[in-house]
Amino acid sequence: MARETFDVVIMGGGNAGIGVTGPVRRAGQSVAMIEASDLGGTCPNRGCTPKKVQVAAGQALHDIERAEAHHIAVGRPRLDWAALIDREKDMIKDIPANLTRAMTRREVEVIKGFGTFVSSNTIRVGDRLLEGRHIVIATGSRPRPLPIPGAEHMITSDDMLRDRVLPTSMIFVGGGVIALEFGHVYARAGAAVTILEALPQLLPTMDADAVAQLRAESERLGIKINTGVDVRRIEAAGGQLRVIFTHDGVEHAAVADRVVNGAGRVANIDGLDLAAGGVEHANGRIAIDQYLRSRSNPLVYVCGDAVPISPQLSPIATYEGDIVGRNIVAGAKHRPDYAGMATSVYTVPALAAVGITETTAWQTGATIDVHVNDMRDWFSARSYAETVAWSKVIVDRVSDCILGAHFVGHGSQELINIFGLAIKFSITASQLRDNVYAYPTFSADIKHMLGRA
Ligand SMILES: Cc1cc2nc3c(=O)[nH]c(=O)nc-3n(C[C@H](O)[C@H](O)[C@H](O)COP(=O)(O)OP(=O)(O)OC[C@H]3O[C@@H](n4cnc5c(N)ncnc54)[C@H](O)[C@@H]3O)c2cc1C
Ligand SMILES: NC(=O)c1ccc[n+]([C@@H]2O[C@H](COP(=O)([O-])OP(=O)(O)OC[C@H]3O[C@@H](n4cnc5c(N)ncnc54)[C@H](O)[C@@H]3O)[C@@H](O)[C@H]2O)c1
């Protein structure tokens, strides 16, 4: 088998892998990108983008629900689920081809296939051997396998995004982002939704008060939420599925058409033969240093969802890809800085957050001001008949810097980016208060969210 040589061989053509190509191609390095499935990876093909098409339909149903508040009479909405899925698929169908063209313009050689290590600097794909001065693992993540009897009955978010039949009922094992985002859409579309979460709190890494707001709104929609449960087994039940779980030692059962694995995602690194590459790893996590480089093989970098220590988010995958690309070009000197990276749970309305939670803020020992507002009575929320409008902003009293911001409500997924900017570029609470905002907008409420100076 002839060996081909490249400066950089990237395994995975998602946000992370594509992120690597910018800096290395600008430096004139030769790049091979191996992609096993669709170029673009999870976010545009099986994640953020198609999911948001469904969320947009959920938003429309939410608006219709409140039509009466605006004195608009509408009949009962009827969602054509199959047509919605077709719309979703139609919107994303050209993405892999467009990205292939973009990579070709960038003079990246895209190779279809599944890459595996054969040595510390060589990857096999099909019948080709690609030798790289650097190898990048950008292979993303996959749903966490659950050691529950009957786990094979569960479907994944990939399955949900292509299912043209709206189930009458569904159960999510895990109460994280996937359960809440899809749960809101399905509940609004008319399905009975149950969430079974192992920990005492849904979305366990997010601010407890913000999650309580979202939980209340989710229950208002009719979603049944059980936290602190132990899912014991899943079994067939006459064309449906039965999930047996315990809560406080008492056994319960829930029955639904579909059971979804919403229990998190793990790095997609099985099958890469990391041992052949000399890439140290344990429990599905590659050992990396602060430059996103393998601790045992300095030729190898890791970025995106395959990184064991950073949030599995699309902009973070792109950002880490860029860091890796710059480290390949200039030598390992760039370290990721995740401060100011905003995130949203795209329920309707969304929960959006940036920075640290109130619990973490108190744990740091900082002297803080915590500004909490239920804004449903504020003119901005009342005019739109919002069902929830809530904010918490945590400010360091000494430096006046924003430590964290947490919102649940309309506009929150946009508002949060202002607070991301503030955290990243040390814009103080007073400066945010002093700014003149367009009025009437949700951003104009920032002054009041921070308390009048
Ligand atoms: C349902 C869902 C919704 C989401 N919504 C959001 C959202 O709204 N906002 C957000 O920020 N994030 C969201 N995410 C997370 C986001 O999609 C990921 O963080 C992001 O796509 C990770 O990018 P990546 O490049 O690391 O991995 P991926 O995009 O998964 O790319 C990895 C690629 O590697 C390929 N591959 C794997 N193994 C090999 C191999 N051995 N050889 C060659 N190729 C290989 C795969 O085929 C894949 O294309 C969502 C995720 C899911 C599942
Ligand atoms: N809006 C977004 O940015 C977005 C949307 C969807 C997915 N994603 C990404 O995809 C990843 C996967 O999403 P997810 O919702 O599956 O994961 P998640 O990490 O958000 O939530 C998983 C939940 O499952 C619980 N859990 C784990 N094992 C369990 C068990 N055996 N029984 C019951 N509960 C259990 C966890 O405690 C946790 O609350 C997320 O980490 C997220 O970064 C992001």
Note whether 155 and 235 are same-domain residues: yes
Distance separating alpha carbons of residues 359 and 206, to the nearest angstrom:
10
- Residue 284 token pair: 């599905």
DSSP three-state, residue 116? strand
Q: Tally the residues of the chain.
A: 453
pLDDT digits (tens, 9 = 90+) for 408-453: 999 999 999 999 999 999 999 999 999 999 999 999 999 999 985 4
> Which residues span the domain enclosing 110?
3-47+87-143+266-330
Query: Hey, what amino acid is at 407?
Result: F
The answer to whether the beta carbons of residues 163 and 85 sit under 8 Å apart is yes
Distance separating alpha carbons of residues 388 and 370, to the nearest angstrom:
19
Output the residue whose Cα is nearest ligand 2's atom 43: 312
Q: What is the pLDDT of residue 123?
A: 98
| Backbone φ and ψ of 436, nearest 5° | -100, 120
Q: How far is the CA of 12 from the centre of ligand 1 (A)?
A: 9
pLDDT digits (tens, 9 = 90+) for 146-173: 999 999 999 999 999 999 999 999 999 9
In a domain, 336, yes or no: no
Residue 48 has pLDDT above 60, yes or no: yes
Question: Which residues form the pocket of ligand 2, taking CB atoms under 6 Å from any ligand atom?
Answer: 146, 173-179, 181, 196-199, 204, 231, 262-265, 311-313, 343-346
Distances in whole angstroms, Cα of residue 117 to Cα of each of 266, 303, 317, 429: 20, 17, 22, 50
Residue 2 has pLDDT above 70, yes or no: yes
Output the residue whose Cα is nearest ligand 1's atom 27: 140
- What number is the average pLDDT over the span 5-31? 98
Note whether 405 and 276 are same-domain residues: no
Core vs surface per residue 202-215: b (16+ CB within 10 A) or e: bbeebbebbbebbb
In a domain, 57, yes or no: no
- Residue 216 token pair: 């209340």
Note whether 258 and 279 are same-domain residues: no
Residue 141 has pLDDT above 50, yes or no: yes
Distance separating alpha carbons of residues 115 and 126, to the nearest angstrom:
8
- Binned at pLDDT 50, 70 and 90, residue 285 comes out as very high
- What number is the average pLDDT over the span 326-342? 96
Structural domain ending residue among the three candidates 263, 285, 306: 263
Structural domain ending residue among the three candidates 245, 263, 281: 263
Q: What is the pLDDT of residue 453?
A: 44
Q: How far is the CA of 285 from the centre of ligand 1 (A)?
A: 16
Work out which ligand 1 atom sits closest to the CA atom of 140: 27
Distance separating alpha carbons of residues 308 and 294, to the nearest angstrom:
12
Full-model pTM: 0.97
Distance separating alpha carbons of residues 392 and 25, to the nearest angstrom:
43
Output the residue whose Cα is nearest ligand 2's atom 14: 264
Note whether 407 and 276 are same-domain residues: no
In a domain, 13, yes or no: yes
- What number is the average pLDDT over the span 196-222? 98
How many percent of the chain have pLDDT more than 70?
100
Contacts of 147 (CB under 8 A, 6+ apart): none
CATH number of the domain to which 222 belongs: 3.50.50.60
Q: What is the pLDDT of residue 451?
A: 85
Q: DSSP of 420-451, one letter per residue?
A: HHHHHTT-BHHHHHHSPPPSSSSGGGHHHHT-
Q: DSSP of 269-336, one letter per residue?
A: -TTS-TTTTT--EETTEE-B-TTSBBSS-TTEEE-GGG-SSS---HHHHHHHHHHHHHHHHH-S----
Q: What is the pLDDT of residue 280?
A: 98
- What number is the average pLDDT over the span 25-38? 98
For the complex shown, is ipTM > 0.95?
yes
Structural domain ending residue among the three candidates 263, 291, 310: 263
- Residue 438 token pair: 């367009």
In a domain, 379, yes or no: yes
Q: What is the pLDDT of residue 67?
A: 96
- What number is the average pLDDT over the span 398-412? 97
In a domain, 335, yes or no: no
Q: What is the pLDDT of residue 3?
A: 87
Residue 314 has pLDDT above 90, yes or no: yes
Q: What is the pLDDT of residue 452?
A: 58
- What number is the average pLDDT over the span 65-83? 96
CATH number of the domain to which 356 belongs: 3.30.390.30
Note whether 242 and 255 are same-domain residues: yes
Q: What is the pLDDT of residue 1?
A: 73
The domain total for the chain is: 3
Give the rounded distance of the alpha carbon of 313 from its chain centre: 4
Beta strands in 138-180 (DSSP E): 141-143, 169-173
| Average pLDDT value for the chain | 97
On the question of a cis peptide bond just before residue 143, with omega within 30 degrees of 0, the verdict is: no
Q: What is the pLDDT of residue 7?
A: 98
